[in-house]
């Protein structure tokens, strides 16, 4: 167990270690460290920690999600290009079955055709696309503000949104 406090698992896939310097016209100038820090700040208000990993290797991401996903309160994942063809990542998320929000900094639907195929869609709770790095914080807020059912069938209709003042 990596954290004693409840935690969100924040996963970034291939090339996202280059955030801030990589194609800044598309992905902006914030670094991955900046992104991780801002998600930690949001989560801290709810007494929740953030366990963050980035890897350029699909199998490594599978290892990390298998190890740290089951005990997490939820998963935020920007799979990078694995979003378009990462079937072992998809199967891993289906197996681990934690509430997962997929984030894409850019609007993949307005880009090349290959980016419009999103193979994780069926196994994630929701997707935030094209809102820049703010998408990570919005994903965290969803997972933090929504009391999610722990069942395999857990879905939005079974989710109970917590109102201000309730346990965070």
Choice between 48 and 77, CB closer to ligand DQA: 77
Choice between 112 and 167, CB closer to ligand DQA: 112
Choice between 5 and 81, CB closer to ligand DQA: 81
**Residues assigned a catalytic role:** 27, 104
Choice between 122 and 167, CB closer to ligand DQA: 122
Least Å distance, CB 135 to ligand DQA, is 8
Q: Quickly list DSSP for 74-142.
A: EEEEE-GGGGGT-HHHHHHHHHH---EEEEESS-GGGS-GGGG--TTGGGSSEEEESSTTHHHHHHHHH
- CA 126, CA 90: separation in Å to the nearest integer? 14
Least Å distance, CB 123 to ligand DQA, is 16
Site residues for ligand DQA per CB under 6 A: 15, 78, 80-81, 83, 104-106, 108, 115
| Residues whose CB is less than 8 angstroms from the CB of residue 55 and which lie 6 or more positions away in sequence, other chains included | 12, 13, 14, 61, 64
8-state DSSP, 26: H
Least Å distance, CB 3 to ligand DQA, is 25
DSSP 3-state of 11: strand
């Amino acid at each position: 167990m990596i954290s004693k406090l409840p935690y969100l698992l924040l996963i970034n896939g291939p090339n996202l270690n280059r955030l801030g310097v990589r194609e800044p016209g598309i992905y902006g100038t914030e670094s991955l460290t900046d992104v991780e820090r801002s998600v930690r700040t949001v989560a801290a208000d709810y007494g929740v920690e953030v366990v963050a990993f980035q890897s350029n290797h699909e199998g490594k991401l599978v290892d990390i999600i298998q190890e740290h996903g089951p005990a997490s309160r939820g998963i935020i994942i920007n799979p990078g290009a694995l979003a378009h063809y990462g079937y072992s990542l998809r199967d891993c998320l289906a197996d681990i079955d934690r509430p997962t929000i997929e984030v894409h900094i850019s609007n993949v639907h307005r880009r090349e055709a290959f980016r419009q195929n999103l193979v994780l869609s069926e196994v994630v709770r929701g997707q935030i696309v094209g809102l820049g790095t703010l998408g990570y914080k919005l994903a965290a807020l969803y997972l933090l503000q929504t009391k999610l059912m722990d069942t395999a069938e857990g879905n939005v209709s079974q989710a109970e949104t917590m109102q201000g003042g309730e346990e965070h």
